[in-house]
Structure formats: C-alpha cells, structure tokens
Amino acid sequence: MRFITDSPGETQALARRMAERLNGGEVIAFTGGMGAGKTAFTRGLAIGLGAGDVASSPTFAIVNEYEGRLTLEHFDMYRIDTWEDLYSTGFFDYLDTDRVLAVEWSENIEGALPEGTIYIDIRPGDTETRREITVRGWKGEL
C-alpha cells in the first residue's frame, strides 16, 4: 500500500496506527535515503507503543531500546557492511523474540531480513514536506 504524507506529523500518525496493530516479533525494514523520514516514522512507532520519544538515529550505538506496550529495538545499519558487523549488533538475537525491530538502512542487511518482514520505503515527494511511503508485507489496514 502507498501513502502520501504532507508533514512529519502525518508520517508519525501513520506510524502510530501501525504501532497500535503490532503484536510483537515484527521486523520493520526501512529504505530511503538520508532525511527521508525513517527516524520520524520510528518516532511514531515508539509513541504508538507508549515507549516515549525516539531521539535520533542510533548511528553510533547502532541500536537503541525503547520500552512500551512492546519493546522496540531501533537499529541503524548505515555502517554495517559485513555479516560479522551484523552479528555484533545483536540483530539475530532479537529475531524470534516478542520485540519489534525497526531497522534504518535495511538496504545494508537485505539478505538477513526474515520472512514476514514489513518493508517501508520512504521517498521525497514533490514538495519539501511531502513523502511517498510504500508499505509491503503489512497484513490488514493502516
């Protein structure tokens, strides 16, 4: 499904609706370049899970954890380019748990994403504050 948003708030609102329908164990894989809105979307997920605010992409920590109705693990794979790097992030330890994994720069770990991954691609629209958000692998409404 495809959505157009016209502000960061609209992107967050979409993400909050997704958060309300999460059961735990989902992997949410973002694609889209720098400044696309991946962190903005993740912020909406965290708010929707009652896990508070997401400060920024966890570029240096690689993963930040947010506790809410479900635990959200927020990964930034920008600097991950080997399997060894990926193992060291703990990504595989979190798979098949009841945590929700939100993965920025999932392009870099494409081959490691499990079956059932929810793919979210965010592209700039034709105004400064417009984004085209394509969601694949989501079952149900948003």
Question: Is 74 near ligand ADP (CB under 6 A)?
Answer: no
* DSSP characters over 34-62: TTSSHHHHHHHHHHHTT-----S--TTTS
Question: Is 108 near ligand ADP (CB under 6 A)?
Answer: no
Partner touching 37 among Mg ion, ligand ADP, none, CB below 5 to 8 Å by kind: ligand ADP
Q: Which residues contact 135 (CB under 8 A, 6 or more apart)?
A: 1, 2, 3, 118, 119, 120, 142
Q: Are strands 71-76 and 63-67 parallel, antiparallel or unpaired?
A: antiparallel
Smallest distance from the beta carbon of 73 to ligand ADP, in angstroms? Answer: 16
Among 28, 75, 94, 131, indicate the residue that binds ligand ADP (CB under 6 A): 131
Question: Is 5 near Mg ion (CB under 5 A)?
Answer: no
Question: Is 74 near Mg ion (CB under 5 A)?
Answer: no
Q: Are strands 100-104 and 27-31 parallel, antiparallel or unpaired?
A: parallel
Give phi and psi for 85, each to the nearest 5.
Answer: -55, -45
- Judged by CB under 5 A, the chain residues 47 through 66 that form the site for Mg ion are 57
Among 5, 18, 30, 38, indicate the residue that binds Mg ion (CB under 5 A): 38
- Judged by CB under 6 A, the chain residues 12 through 71 that form the site for ligand ADP are 32, 34-40, 57
